[in-house]
Amino acid sequence: MAVIHHTTLSPTKLELLTPWLPEQPWYAGDGTAPDLTKAGGFRLDDPEGEVGMEFMVATDSSGAAPVHYHVPLTYRGAPLPGADHALIGTLEHGVLGKRWAYDGTHDPVLVAQLFALLTGDAVAQAQSVSDALDPTVHAQLAGTGHGTVPGPASVTPAPSATDILVRSARPLVLRVHRVLTPGDTDGGSTLGHISATWTEASGERARGVFLTVHESA
């Protein structure tokens, strides 16, 4: 299970995200700098123990109403070849040294483990506690015999989501919901979904769908 180092980060994760978010097609603000706080999320483990994976909920309070963004992140000790377009930035970790932070939808390790979570071959870990599962993360995928995936076949940003085409026993689209909706918990008429929780500005816990699974067109 993941070991969480409670140490310094320079810049912080939210400082990395602040200039990056307004450049994304799913950013719901007016283009000005967001005012971000971390509101929740979970982690997945890399079986090789090399890549950190976090599914962060970052709440932007700069507008008339808070907006909750879902940002999958990977942290690596060296650049990911061919992924310069997905690099969010670098940070100095007080224990691990320099880390490269990526939009995880482009990282093959994260995509493979995300699919494993859907098929029951991986379990969600607590975001900020070492060696602890997160039972509030619910994942399901209809049918059997899906196999595994090596990573994304393609990644397509959209106004409110990021579509990841994966090839398992059949081509599927993992639709990562970037702007979260409280109370949206069942994924609708889809092949599968992942839901999880975060903390609202009021202090109340909210649940929403982080990802849905669809047939590839």
Q: At residue 56, what is the residue type?
A: M
Residue 27: pLDDT over 90: yes
Does residue 171 sit in helix, strand or coil? strand
At 78 the pLDDT is 96
Would you say 110 and 44 are in contact if contact means Cβ atoms under 8 Å apart? yes
Higher pLDDT pick, 44 / 32: 44
Residue 202: pLDDT over 90: no
142-173 confidence digits (pLDDT tens): 987 888 899 999 999 988 999 999 998 889 99
pLDDT mean over 46-62: 95
Measured CA to CA in angstroms, residue 174 lies from 40, 115, 151, 157, 188 at distances of 21, 8, 11, 12, 14
Residue 31: pLDDT over 80: no
Element (H, E) at 173: strand 171-177
pLDDT mean over 56-64: 94
Strands 161-167 and 154-157 turn out to be: antiparallel
104-121 confidence digits (pLDDT tens): 999 999 999 999 999 999
Element (H, E) at 126: strand 125-126
At 169 the pLDDT is 86
Q: At residue 131, what is the residue type?
A: D
* CA 157 – CA 27 distance, rounded (Å): 11
Task: Name the pTM for this structure.
Answer: 0.93
Burial of 120 (0-12, 13-18, 19+ CB in 10 A): exposed
Query: Assign residue 72 a region: left if phi > 0, alpha if psi is -120 to 50, beta otherwise?
Result: beta
Q: Rounded to an integer, what is the distance from CA 193 to the centroid of its chain? A: 13
Q: How many CA atoms lie within 13 A of 123 on its CB side?
A: 10
Q: At residue 70, what is the residue type?
A: H
Rounded to the nearest integer, the mean pLDDT of the chain is: 91
Does residue 114 sit in helix, strand or coil? helix
At 165 the pLDDT is 97
Residue 1: pLDDT over 60: no
Q: Binning pLDDT at 50, 70 and 90, where does residue 38 land?
A: very high
Would you say 191 and 141 are in contact if contact means Cβ atoms under 8 Å apart? yes
pLDDT mean over 193-212: 94
* 37 Cβ neighbours under 8 A, 6+ residues apart: 14, 58, 59, 61
> What 8-state DSSP symbol labels residue 147?
-
* pLDDT over 90, % of the chain: 75
